[in-house]
Amino acid sequence: MSSPADAKHTQHTLTAVSTMLTPLERLRVDAAGEGLYHALHRDSVEDVIRDLKERGAEAVLMSVSRCQHDETGARLANMVREFPRIPAVAILTELEPRTPQTVLTLGRSGVRTLIDVRHPAGWRELRNVLMADRATDVQRLALAQLTADLAGVPADCWRFFEALFRCSPQVSTVRILARKLDVLPSTLMSRFFRAHLPAPKRYLAMARLTRAASLFENPGLSVANVSNHLDYSSPQSFGRHVRTVLRITAVEFRQRFDGEGMLHRFREELVLPFLPVLRTFTPLSGPPGWLPPREQQIRVSAKQQNG
């Protein structure tokens, strides 16, 4: 039986979807998304916007039945303008007299995806749509571009670069990243140094700023919102990080870079000039007989138990 702590951890690892639904729709959406996404059920557009700013919701799910008031359409239009990179999806569970007009209003508000869930196929389509948007645009773009740039590199070299863009925002230090990759931080840093490559800290910092630049494409997100999303301790900490890495202020960073622009800089500074080295670089594996730290611990424990 899972504990409350396990349940809380699972919620944080799932895609957060902010919703505005009827009570019955909430139950059905929860059932359809079990294990795939975590629904944050809200009663107003303002509450949904708060989820986007403060809780890192990655998608919005609206009920046609809850959007039949004219003022709701106006607030939705503002939301879509402020958060253009966050997908907004409408679902239709029943036909009502105002349904055709409401659907038109949703379209004018910028909601481009409408899914009819009156049939089982609609729920499958909804899951597919939400899961397709689980990775952000810049993550997909980064992994696609790096796959081409790093074709033929050793498997564990690719694992390092893949982790930079697949890991959660909570992976904010080389120590945490090394733990995810099952290598000692000192070993990881030493291997980059001996290969005359930029430090792993530089790669991680630039990858995090690529994510930040992508988030800033949503005008509704403030510096405080973005720093919170990416697990910086404060907006001031984020600002110091930007200044240290790029020698500009957070405001200048927002004005000068979008996600694609920062990804271009990441590749130009940290990947393309070092391709000859990276094609033979093995940052996670060691000499013959080397074992990952966890395996070393397991073997030491086994020897101790066997006396």
Give tens-digit pLDDT for 55-70: 888 889 999 999 887 7
Task: Let me know whether 147 and 86 are in one domain.
Answer: no
Distance CA 218, CA 214 (A): 8
Asked whether residue 301 is domain-assigned, the answer is no
Q: What is the CATH number of the domain that holds 59?
A: 3.40.50.2300
Task: Let me know whether 120 and 169 are in one domain.
Answer: no
Q: Give the count of domains, the chain.
A: 2
Q: What percent of the chain has pLDDT over 70?
A: 86
The mean-pLDDT minimum among 84-93, 124-133, 153-162, 258-267 falls in 124-133
Task: Let me know whether 65 and 82 are in one domain.
Answer: yes
Q: Is residue 209 within 8 Å of residue 245, measured between CB atoms?
A: yes
Task: Let me know whether 89 and 145 are in one domain.
Answer: no
Task: Let me know whether 100 and 146 are in one domain.
Answer: no
pLDDT at 153 exceeding the cut of 50: yes
Distance CA 211, CA 142 (A): 10
Q: Averaged over 282-303, what is the pLDDT?
A: 60
Asked whether residue 303 is domain-assigned, the answer is no
Per-residue pLDDT band for 7 (boundaries 50, 70, 90) equals very low
pLDDT at 244 exceeding the cut of 60: yes
Residue-number span of the structural domain to which 180 is assigned: 137-293
Asked whether residue 300 is domain-assigned, the answer is no
Give start and end residues of each alpha helix (H) in 155-274.
155-166, 174-181, 185-194, 200-215, 223-229, 235-246, 250-256, 259-270
What distance separates the 2 farthest-apart alpha carbons in the chain? 79
Distance CA 269, CA 203 (A): 10
Which of 83, 103, 132 finishes a domain?
Answer: 132
Q: Averaged over 29-53, what is the pLDDT?
A: 89
Per-residue pLDDT band for 301 (boundaries 50, 70, 90) equals low
Q: What pLDDT is stored for residue 190 in this prediction? A: 94
DSSP code for 258: -
Strongest mean pLDDT among 83-87, 140-144, 167-171, 251-255: 251-255
Q: Averaged over 182-198, what is the pLDDT?
A: 94
Task: Let me know whether 128 and 141 are in one domain.
Answer: no
* CA-angle at 164, arms to 274 and 89, nearest 5°: 130
Which of 72, 103, 132 finishes a domain?
Answer: 132
Q: Averaged over 251-262, what is the pLDDT?
A: 93
Asked whether residue 192 is domain-assigned, the answer is yes
Task: Let me know whether 172 and 235 are in one domain.
Answer: yes
Q: Averaged over 179-184, what is the pLDDT?
A: 91
Task: Let me know whether 178 and 148 are in one domain.
Answer: yes
Per-residue pLDDT band for 300 (boundaries 50, 70, 90) equals low
Going by C-beta distance under 8 Å and a sequence separation of 6 or more, which residues neighbour residue 182? 284, 292, 293, 294
Q: Averaged over 240-250, what is the pLDDT?
A: 94
Q: Within 13 Å of residue 242, how many CA atoms lie on the same side as its CB?
A: 27
Q: What pLDDT is stored for residue 168 in this prediction? A: 74
pLDDT at 286 exceeding the cut of 70: no
Asked whether residue 302 is domain-assigned, the answer is no
Q: What pLDDT is stored for residue 127 in this prediction? A: 79
Asked whether residue 298 is domain-assigned, the answer is no
Task: Let me know whether 73 and 127 are in one domain.
Answer: yes
pLDDT at 196 exceeding the cut of 70: yes
**46 - beta bridge partners?**
none
Task: Let me know whether 203 and 232 are in one domain.
Answer: yes
Asked whether residue 304 is domain-assigned, the answer is no
Going by C-beta distance under 8 Å and a sequence separation of 6 or more, which residues neighbour residue 306? none
Task: Let me know whether 121 and 155 are in one domain.
Answer: no
Task: Let me know whether 287 and 143 are in one domain.
Answer: yes
Q: What pLDDT is stored for residue 28 in this prediction? A: 92
